Structure 1
Amino acid sequence: MDLLIDVPVLVAAKQKMPMIKVLVEDPRAGEVRVKMFASGVCHSCLHAYDGSHATPMPMILGDEGSGIVESVGSGVTTLVPGDHVIISWLLNCGTCPPCRDGKPAHCWAPSPFGALLDNTQRFKNAETGEPVLHYGPATYAPYTVVPESSAIKIRKDMPLDKAALIGCSVTTGFGSVTNAAGARPGESVAIVGCGGVGLNAVQGARVAGANPIIAIDTSDAALQMAKKFGATHLINASRDDVVAETLKICPRGVNHSIAAVGSTKAMQNGVEILGSGGTMVILGAPPNGAVLEIDPIFILGKERGIRGSKYGSSNPHVEFPMLIELYLAGKLDLDSLVTGNYRIDQSNEAFEILAQGGAGRGLITFEQ
């Protein structure tokens, strides 16, 4: 049976999202419908909201969330109604060689942007019948439908509001250091950009035993949070020369830099602070058309490298439970990440606050 929900829908960039009545279809074969508990407020969605990334519309945003399975489609074998889940925004097929190799970010058959794996939607405008597009898993909807492979079952004693953050920012930032960079104890890591993702890169570096851990941002508030999460050195890019200050700390350059903000200037800094054999991992997504200019001799001469990392180069089915265990053991701080709490009808306000900068992560919670 279709469910009627009230949900903010992106209908035009740089305009407030109206609350619209939308019908959520039953899950089809291999899918589950999830009653959402919480959703993080993510920069990726902000880029759609403010028009810096071209986005088809009308669309329901949200790519980080948690909830409880409400119903399952035919053929679903790993989930039942009542299971607690974190939503993975990787709507991967689960059957191609990269998926079976634990690399779902390399899936050969990802869903088209705005749809599920079969290129159709499960949302429609209740008045017009017009399809409403999915921003990945569309976690701003009180109920959403995702493939079985994108709803990762978790232990029920894990608080669902904190679990939501693992769905994107925690996994992306943490994994950029532990998976993509492969940082080892005693290696130096610099994190350029200490928003929700960058703060978790700091945590990944701390858990990995990296030292020093250099946090770089233009916000003193963000830098102080980075210190709380494990940064050993702080550099304010609005006041200081990032390259010069970093080289004072690590005269031969850093082993790893993490570009956790969608700024080509930040990425340029991330390259220039690399030592011999060092690698910059790109996490942040710049505006469409942005170009990064690199001197190839600088890369070649000391065997430096640049690589991208999607979703922290993680396998969510492995990473999510591991991060939960770290949290419950007191080794991963999720509580301090949340600096703003919102209802779903306050999503425009949440984006406006996110756009102003500052520290931490906003969290939308749904009525239960």
Structure 2
Amino acid sequence: MKAAVLRQVGQPLSLEEVAIGLPGPREVLIRTAATGVCHSDLHFIEGSYPHPLPAVLGHEAAGVVEKVGSEVRTVQPGDHVITCLSAFCGHCEYCLTGHMSLCPSPDTKRRDEEPPRLSQAEGTMNQYLNLSAFAEQMLIHEHACTPIRKDMPLDRAALIGCAVTTGIGAVIHTAKVRPGETVAVIGCGGIGLAAISGAVIAGAGRIIAIDRQPSKLALAKTFGATDVIDASEGDVAKRVRDLTNGGVHHAFEAIGLKATAEDAFKMLRRGGTATVIGMIAPGVKIELSGVDFLSEKKIQGSMMGSNRFPVDMPRYVDFYMQGRLKLDEMISARLPLERVNDAFDEMKRGEVARSVVVFDA
């Protein structure tokens, strides 16, 4: 099969032929239909986060099940599915206490003594985040995908695999935004737009979108933002506090930078909560004012929207089909796998909300 491979940090992905195995007892072979191009992939390309190389990247995907292993119970050939990087084992403490997104998932990977899921004649090929979705096929554990209704367009379904689940989940599951509360979202890419959608679904009273790109701020309004702030004009936290008479109940950081994480905390009202969704690079330290903790302000992280993806994703699909969740507007471009590096170049320029790699049916 064709796949986009990262061989060296800082270099473009190379289109290569990669061999894929047959499903083991709990595994599923999927024909990939579409894969979103996520900023998380860029972090690994640029080396902000380490990963064994070479590896087939990509993790935000949807497709059609081709084959299943002998013990698979959740899907069958012909099912349309969305994949999720937060594969879960189902029996560890995190899973059993309802925190599936935190499962370290050792049982969802092949053991060292087993043949790898991906390979090349000339050497090792590593699977990325349980998925490796920049490829014509995926071989994954059954607990890394969930079936969805077949009338859902798969290019839009792919976005639910990461951006939508991460952004909406951070609002609804991690932060538990309540009707009428005020929300600020820093960064209006795919995840930020999904967080805005989550705030709308949760019934937030005021939703403030913050970005440096006028086109993204305009898009944020179509997703439900009631106010927008151009971050290039400076002192974002003060402007949010002035706009809300003291600060917001919830601030969501969807970029992954020290400065924006600190701003999220600074723009809170008394008792407010800042939720960091973005991937802050390892080793980066956040500086906060200790006196703010006396007014019960809080800061927390969110891992893939604290999801229960087999339950959440079909519901998000229904929201889209009912017209309650915007996905069409989130897609800036559809590209073949051969142009995946163009998608990353556009991402680095801040020109797109989400590009989607689409595969032939």
User: TM-score, normalized by length of structure 1?
Assistant: 0.94
Residue type of the partner of 2:12?
K
1:224 deviates by 0.8
1:117 deviates by 5.0
Distance across 2 between alignment mates of 1:228 and 1:17: 33
Structure 1 gap ranges (5+):
none
Distance across 1 between alignment mates of 2:204 and 2:194: 14
User: TM-score, normalized by length of structure 2?
Assistant: 0.96
Instruction: Write out per-residue CA displacement over residues 137-179 of structure 1, whole angstroms, 9 at most, x where no aligned residue.
Output: 1111110111111110111111111111000000100111111
Instruction: Write out per-residue CA displacement over residues 212-268 of structure 1, whole angstroms, 9 at most, x where no aligned residue.
Output: 100011111111111110001111111132022111211121100001111110011
Look up the match of 1:116. 109
Distance across 2 between alignment mates of 1:289 and 1:33: 37
1:71 deviates by 0.5
1:331 deviates by 0.5
Structure 2 gap ranges (5+):
none
Look up the match of 1:315. 308
Secondary structure, counterpart of 1:152 in structure 2:
strand
Say whether 1:72 aligns with 2:68: yes
Task: Report if the CA contact (8 A) 1:86-1:163 is conserved.
Answer: yes
Distance across 2 between alignment mates of 1:61 and 1:18: 11
| Percent sequence identity over aligned pairs | 37
Aligned alpha-carbon RMSD (Å): 1.5
Look up the match of 1:200. 194
Of 320, 327, 334, which residue of structure 1 is paired with 2:320?
A: 327
Task: Report if the CA contact (8 A) 2:11-2:45 is conserved.
Answer: yes
1:94 deviates by 1.8
Look up the match of 1:161. 155
Of 50, 53, 69, which residue of structure 1 is paired with 2:49?
A: 53
Distance across 1 between alignment mates of 2:194 and 2:266: 23
Distance across 1 between alignment mates of 2:102 and 2:43: 23
Distance across 1 between alignment mates of 2:292 and 2:134: 44
Residue type of the partner of 1:69?
V
1:96 deviates by 1.8
Task: Report if the CA contact (8 A) 2:54-2:124 is conserved.
Answer: no
Look up the match of 1:87. 83
Of 216, 223, 229, which residue of structure 2 is paired with 1:235?
A: 229
Distance across 2 between alignment mates of 1:130 and 1:272: 46
Aligned residues: 359
Of 330, 333, 348, which residue of structure 2 is paired with 1:337?
A: 330
Distance across 2 between alignment mates of 1:346 and 1:28: 32
1:297 deviates by 2.1
Task: Report if the CA contact (8 A) 2:52-2:126 is conserved.
Answer: no
Distance across 1 between alignment mates of 2:273 and 2:300: 7
Task: Report if the CA contact (8 A) 2:186-2:209 is conserved.
Answer: yes
Distance across 2 between alignment mates of 1:242 and 1:359: 22
Look up the match of 2:220. 226
Distance across 2 between alignment mates of 1:209 and 1:243: 23
